[in-house]
Structure 1
Amino acid sequence: MRRRIIIVTAVHAPSVPFLPDAYKSLCEQELPEGWDWHWVVQEDGTGDEVAPHVPDDPRVTFRQGRRGGPGVARTIALAHADGEYVKVLDADDQLTPGVLARDLAVLEGDRSIGWATSRVLDLLPDGSTAGFDKDPAEGPIERGAVLEHWQAHDFRAQVHPATLFVRRDLLLALGGWMALPASEDTGLLLALNSVSRGWFTREYGLLYRKWPGQATSQAAHTDTGERDARMAVVEARARELAYFQWRYPVTG
């Protein structure tokens, strides 16, 4: 029986033009013998704009639902996550060649690692890319390290939550993505790091598209009052998980 990696993508009408590039990057992935992927595309809404752009591929599942933001869309998509691992792929981003196999190798090789991340290249509107020169060293990320860095660097983590590759059981145990209007992926990252060791790979794993319509470029995203509230609840959740001393993997 073949084993599966579930690719979860939230999409709404403005990001639809980029969906074919995301699909192409997924089709170019090579996996070890006995593995395949299942792409779950969840529309954040119930309009008519997205469905015509979803690939006609038996490996792709498309669903719609009432609007709640990307975190809600990704979480409801977990109803169709029938594999051992979940990989995040935003509709406007692209995977780099080999990233799925690299992530898989890390988690298959070490049961104490609950999630993996990798380096990111910004994909600019003119097609060029830009990197980041302050990525951490390759290797394990110990519990609590993300929260510590995040607090010391103006609420910016040292690894990118858009590159997450995570064990499905751990993701479900934490309830999926946080119910926030933004920063829901950062909230998940900090929660994961509160209960489990992670891994960072210095090979580039994602092209992160920069474009005017993305959520992080909207004025509401930087509203001081809302941002402070988001950061407060993200931090509180991570601290409470650490306080209760929940650990993955479970031993004893």
Structure 2
Amino acid sequence: MVHIVTVITAVHAPGAEFLPAAYKSLTEQELPNGWEWQWVIQEDGETDAVAPYVPDDDRVSFGQGRAGRAAMARTMGLSRARGEYVKVLDADDMLTPGTLARDIAALANGEIGWTTSRVLDLLPDGSTVGFDQDPPAGPVEMGAVLDHWKANAYRAQVHPATLCMRRDLVLALGGWMALPASEDTGLLLALNAVSRGWFHAETGLLYRKWPGQVTSQAAHTHEGEREARMAVVEARARTLAALPGWRFGSTDTR
């Protein structure tokens, strides 16, 4: 029996040129016996700019649709996901060797619903910078991400761009939040509200910093919009945590 981990990538035209580097990082993954990866690329829009960068590989599925930002593109990509696990990979980022194997190993524990890993920012000059507040390697208990995020100016201790999740759990939570930004943080906090996670101390992602990335735009930090995004992200997580019986695995200790 073949098991599949689906890697989902939302891409818009300005970031298409980075797809070959993301693909190379996928081809360098060594998976456990019996496992394969599938790469679902979903364009946020319907242009002619992305398709030329999509690899000719039977493991790659490319789709397009009306522009609606990354949340909608990723959620639409779920329609073609065949894997029992879903891994996020932004178009301009790269996985490090061993990342998928570590994610698969952690999710083999039936109590774990999602994984994250250490991130290095990849700067334009090729240098890298790490995050100085990574949590200890191992399990992330329910509610821990929300508590840290709330106490640290809406900054989580684990990075949502590294998420690998059980597909059924992602579907049950409705996919990525319908927000103009922070949609991945919204999903991370929702996952943490209903299931335990796992943090890998090994670097799992190179997070590219470049002028065209969405998070570098002024609109991303517009104070009024940001406060509204954070409010609905928090409300969703707290509502999920309060729902009776809504837990993944046998971790409910009430």
TM-score when normalising by structure 2: 0.97
Structure 1 residues 178 and 138, CA gap change in structure 2 (3 angstroms): same
* CA–CA distance in structure 1, aligned partners of residues 204 and 228 of structure 2: 31
Residue aligning to 1:90:
90
Residue correspondences, number? 251
SS at match of 1:65: coil
Q: Does 1:182 align with 2:192?
A: no
- Per-residue deviation, residues 22-51 of structure 1 (Å, max 9, x unmatched): 000000000011100000000000000000
Alignment of 1:173-212 (within 5 A): 173-212=172-211
SS for the counterpart of 2:40 is strand
Counterpart of 2:21 in 1: which secondary structure? Answer: helix
CA pair 251-197 structure 1, distance change in 2 beyond 3 A: closer
Deviation at 1:154, TM superposition (A): 0.1
CA–CA separation in structure 2 for the residues paired with 1:3 and 1:134: 34
Q: Give the Cα–Cα distance (whole angstroms) in 2 for the partners of residues 51 and 122 of structure 1.
A: 27
* 1:249 Cα deviation after fit: 2.2
Deviation at 1:127, TM superposition (A): 1.0
Deviations 1:59-112 (A, max 9, x none): 00000000000011000000001110000000000000000000100111x101
Deviation at 1:128, TM superposition (A): 1.0
Other-structure match for 1:73: 73
1:219-234 matches, within 5 Å, as: 219-234=218-233
Q: How does 1:1-252 map to 2 (within 5 A)?
A: 1-108=1-108, 110-245=109-244, 246-249=246-249
Alpha-carbon spacing, 1:46–1:129, altered in 2? closer, same or farther (3 Å): same
Q: Distance in 1 between matches of 2:83 and 2:49?
A: 28
Alignment RMSD (CA, Å): 1.1
Unpaired segments ≥5 residues, structure 1 = none
After TM superposition, the runs of 4+ consecutive aligned structure 1 residues lying more than 2 A away are 249-252
**Deviation at residue 133 of structure 1 after TM alignment:** 1.8
Q: Structure 2 CA distance, aligned partners of 1:133 and 1:251?
A: 30
For 1:26, the aligned partner's letter is: L
Measure, in 2, the Cα distance between the counterparts of 1:99 and 1:242. Answer: 29
TM-score (norm 1): 0.98
